[in-house]
Chains A and B, each alone.
Chain A
Amino acid sequence: MSMEVTSQFFEKNASKALKDPNLRKAMQIIGGPMASRRVETARELPEFEALRDEGVKIRNHVLQHIDLYLERFEQQLTARGGKLHWCRTPREARETILALCRSRDAKLVTKGKSMVTEEIGLNAFLEEHGITPVETDLGEYIIQLAHEPPSHIIGPALHKTREQVAELFEDHHPDYELNGRKAGPRSTEPQVLVTEARHVLRDRYFQADVGITGANFLIAETGATVIVTNEGNGDLTQSLPKMHIAVSSIEKVIPNLEDLSTILRILARSATGQEMSCYTTLSCGPKRPEDIDGPEEFHVVLVDNGRSEMLGTELQPLMRCIRCGACMNNCPVYHSVGGHAYGWVYPGPIGAALDPHMIGLETARHLPNASTFCGKCEEVCPMRIPLPDIMRYWREQAHEKQITPPLQRWGVELWAFAAKTPWLYRLGTRIAIAALNMLGKDKGRFAKMPLASGWTDGRDLPAPQSAETFMSQYKSRKGSRK
């Protein structure tokens, strides 16, 4: 029911992505400006590293007492007239949301950006039941028109070039007119495209029966939900319709507003390199009699979807994640293949560490393997999540449970057997190196190598420098010295 999973085809997905010229153009932005802006804004804030430590402390503390903070959040939310819906599974969450929409006889719902709704496959489910969801975040809107999943957790349409966006708008808003005249061939200027999306979406906000948003944080002290956006679409989504549903997950709870301000100071800097995002909106319950606007009903749908199983395990640090996307902005593998290759909601290093838990290791086994372990993700993660360690944990699980393909498993075990038997290793390597050296001597490298085409398809393999290994050369030199 939830988003179609293609993680098991990572190699094929990656290969396709590497040949997509539009994707390659789009990826240059992530590897270049996105990554460098983070460095610059972090540098401007002397206490940035200390704030990271503080953030880690806050999250670790909450995870130790998560039951307490969630109950406190529910109390406060209820006291302010909101209602909390506990949902163990994606299915429970979808059905809860559908029932809420039906209670308002909803035909059209507007949506702010929410990865949890991607996780539970909400849009397709609502459509099946006769309700039209309209994404209002520009990136989400673009990929909704294109019928694609997001490729990045904060920039869902980063893989699309502006030419592709203009084409999509041409197809989907054929009658769009600006200032009384049709735009003719559509401009590919970002400014013009954004204006068009704004105009089209503006009517939707007023027509919507229900507004659905995510929540970056849940404040236990006040029962408020928090969204962080750059477009202001979230505010219109949640304040104009009669009902606001915030969909979030259990690890998003934090104790109080002090903690919120600490984490906000590192969130946008890590994500987009902004000091703060343009809008930070706290929702503190439905409209009160004295309020001039706001929803009549306020519901928080809290999804577990396997998260509570991570508590107290090697995976618990993943629950510190604040979904900033810094790990993917700085990942060399992500820069090459983009987000769709990972084949599920969460791509990049966080996905490689999280997805095996969420969709099963057999399905996601490539993801923790498709990493060079360069360690850049851990270096930039504001919450200092040990992503490479967790990917290695999955590799160990895959080896132990024999999910790793037999040839790879046997290969490593055979190598390890030799490594544990030095005389055998020396004998084997002496023969192999002598042979390789003889074959590659003329050129000093190989353009083709059986069993190593993964290497030689795209680059040469340097030949061993000498017919003798270092160890045997050293032994004979030492012998002659005596």
Chain B
Amino acid sequence: MSSIESKPRVALFVTCLVDLFRPSVGFATIKLLEDAGCVVDVPEAQVCCAQPAYNSGDRKDTVAIARQVIETFEDYDYVVAPSGSCGGMIKDHYPALFAAEPDWQRRAQDLSARMFELTSFLVDVLKSDPVAASLNAKVTYHDSCSGLRELGVKAQPRALLGSVDGVELVEMKTPETCCGFGGTFCVKYGEVSTDIVSRKTADIAETGADMLLAGDMGCLLNMAGKLKREGSSMQVRHVAEVLAGMTDTPAIGESK
């Protein structure tokens, strides 16, 4: 194995939803990155990528928070988030925020080039070996919108799941259709959001899978919440948990 100097220094951008709702996804991410040969650090000053402000039209606060994120993650080879949504915000939208400030824009572009969604980082950047996990389950995978359309995350999680011993992947009819989460949308337009997710859960149920996976906590909380309300026994987990072999915790929305 290579020496510590040649190992990439990776900062974990844990995302606010993992921080608050599902710490195990953060630890699963660290394990996957370390297993793939990275030195992982979690900078303490991190809070959020600013999407709630950005999508609510609060540009001033968005820019202030983005500066904070850019400064916090300046000194790492890579920054990795277990989320396509937060990853997309930083990689895709940050540079445009600083169109009028060339110096900050350069820094935003520099971070953008080092920023990756977890599965995309493992497959596209590290070209890492198959994961050493096993799980006896029939799973289905939801492509979260930002990961899919902003970062091109589609084949990567499937390739990694293919290397998990015992996992059978069954596709939904509409894996790329939005689950209706949409950040603050899900509360502001709750009725519409609920209707959208009910189409999604119908599609999920039709697969006959016993586990639903995705790479974004927002979508997962939404779909798990609807499945549980419908009385479904489907387990809902972040894909990192399965890849890291850390499925001993209760699934999302469950107590045991």
Contact flags B166-207 to A (C-beta < 8 A → 1, else 0):
000000000011101111011111111111111100000000
Contact of A53 with B by CB under 8 A: no
Complex alpha-carbon distance, A419 and B16, angstroms: 10
Q: Is the CB of B188 within 8 A of A445?
A: no
Complex alpha-carbon distance, A327 and B117, angstroms: 27
Which positions 73-127 of chain A face chain B at CB distance < 8 Å?
none
Complex alpha-carbon distance, A374 and B12, angstroms: 25
Decide yes or no: A422 and B47 within 8 Å by CB, A413-B58, A465-B24 being known contacts: yes
Contact of A469 with B by CB under 8 A: yes
Contact of A454 with B by CB under 8 A: yes
Complex alpha-carbon distance, A395 and B195, angstroms: 23
Contact of A425 with B by CB under 8 A: yes
Q: Is the CB of A462 within 8 A of B21?
A: yes
Find the A residue at minimum CB distance from B194: A458
Q: Which single member of A378, A399, A445 contacts B57 (CB below 8 Å)? A: A399
Contact of B42 with A by CB under 8 A: yes
Which positions 452-472 of chain A face chain B at CB distance < 8 Å?
452-455, 457-466, 468-471
Contact of B229 with A by CB under 8 A: yes
Q: Is the CB of B185 within 8 A of A415?
A: no
How many residue pairs link A and B with beta carbons under 8 A? The number is 217
Q: Is the CB of B64 within 8 A of A420?
A: yes
Complex alpha-carbon distance, A459 and B181, angstroms: 12
Q: Is the CB of A375 within 8 A of B145?
A: yes
Residues of A within 8 A of B194 (CB): 457-459
Residues of A within 8 A of B118 (CB): none
Contact of A132 with B by CB under 8 A: no
Find the A residue at minimum CB distance from B196: A332
- The size bracket of the interface on A is 35 or more
Distance (Å) between the CB of A389 and the closest chain B CB? 9
Residues of B within 8 A of A376 (CB): 145, 149, 176-178
Q: Is the interface of A mostly helix, strand, loop or mixed?
A: helix
- The size bracket of the interface on B is 35 or more
Distance (Å) between the CB of B195 and the closest chain A CB? 4
Distance (Å) between the CB of B233 and the closest chain A CB? 13
Complex alpha-carbon distance, A11 and B197, angstroms: 18
Q: Which single member of B192, B226, B228, B255 contacts A442 (CB below 8 Å)? A: B255
Residues of B within 8 A of A412 (CB): 52-53, 56, 58, 61
Q: Is the CB of B56 within 8 A of A441?
A: no
Q: Which single member of A408, A458, A464 contacts B56 (CB below 8 Å)? A: A408
Contact of B119 with A by CB under 8 A: no
Q: Which single member of B24, B178, B250 contacts A374 (CB below 8 Å)? A: B178
Q: Is the CB of A398 within 8 A of B57?
A: yes
Find the A residue at minimum CB distance from B177: A332
7 A-B pairs with the lowest CB-CB distances in the bound complex, closest first: A454-B190, A372-B182, A458-B194, A395-B57, A399-B57, A444-B255, A416-B61
Other A-B pairs beyond A336-B192, A416-B61, A418-B47, 5, CB < 8 Å = A420-B61, A461-B225, A465-B24, A471-B44, A474-B26
Residues of A within 8 A of B (CB): 11, 14-15, 18, 31, 332-333, 335-337, 369-376, 378-379, 392, 394-400, 404, 408-409, 412-413, 415-416, 418-420, 422, 425, 429, 432-433, 441-445, 447, 452-455, 457-466, 468-471, 473-475
